[in-house]
Structure 1
Amino acid sequence: MGRQWALDTITGGPAIVRNGRMDLLATNLLGWAMHSALYDSPAACAGGPPNFARYTFLDPDSRTSYPDWDAAARICVTILRTEAGRAPHDKAMHDLVGELSTRSSDFAALWSAHDVRLHGVGTTTFHHTAVGDLELAYEGLERLSAPGLSLTLYSAEPGSPTAQALSLLAAWAATEHAEHPAEAPAPAGGAPLGSSPVRPTPLDPQKPR
């Protein structure tokens, strides 16, 4: 609960908490809206919380969400490699790597490269079906109180098209909660694990809702 309270105080941009296996564990409302396609993906949600690695390598939709898919895939594998070294006896990690290696030749090739260079700070472009491309700065922070968990914060340049797009996305998320409270998190909370919210209706960037 304390983790969710901390996320609830972050309102300037998307914020998410994940573990080293790339399971998405908690979000603020904007983080949920940004990753609605992940929650909507049968591949990502197979067998547990939405998982970024399964989404990236097993759902073709990821190549739309990540305009620079190659970079996103490399970072994903790097995070998994780092976690495998940190927790070498984690059966869930072994099972995930085995599944991805068997089902994705792209993952198998990247995994064999043994790249463990972490990228905790940088910029990324994310495509959302409702508001278009989002050019975001991000920073990943390890949770000292919970080893293995990482808090990632995203931000947009003030006054930029991305800042406007995030405002539109926040408006959609608040409306989605009001109209479908069982499918979307409360405005002050993260998405419930295992939920499958519907995809957002595309918004007209010139007509904020």
Structure 2
Amino acid sequence: MQDADFRRWWASHDVALRTGGTKLLHPPVAGDLTLDWEILTSATDPDQQLMVMTAEPGSPSHQAMSFFTSWTEATRSEASGRPS
């Protein structure tokens, strides 16, 4: 590494943590999904985090998520031998 600034920045590990954004997923069953995501951190244990992903209500991604959920439930019912 020749760049002194880069070495200093790398050593400081000064990384901005992202706690939310938008993610594009391509599951083969549901089609393309555009989901908003947010990381929720426990106030009492910062090492415990939960990622929540949501689709805008009424959007094609929301409709695809509804289909994906029903497809998953039907697949589970078939695998367990229970009627759906």
User: Is the aligned partner of 1:118 residue 2:51?
Assistant: no
171, 174, 177: which one aligns with 2:76: 177
Q: Could you tell me how far 1:126 is from its partner in structure 2?
A: 0.9
The structure where helix makes up a greater share of residues is: 1
How large is the RMSD of aligned CA atoms in angstroms? 1.7
Alignment of 1:101-180 (within 5 A): 114=13, 116-180=15-79
The SS at the match of 2:69 is helix
Displaced runs of 4+ in structure 1, greater than 2 A? 144-147
Q: What's the counterpart of residue 84 of structure 1?
A: none
Structure 2 spans left out of the alignment, 5+ residues: 1-9
Alignment of 1:1-209 (within 5 A): 114=13, 116-181=15-80
The SS at the match of 1:151 is strand
Using CA pairs under 8 Å that are at least 6 residues apart, name the structure with larger relative contact order, 1 or 2.
Answer: 1
Q: Quick check: which has more Rg, 1 or 2?
A: 2
Post-superposition CA distance 1:163-204 (Å, at most 9, x none): 1100011001111221224xxxxxxxxxxxxxxxxxxxxxxx
Aligned residues: 69
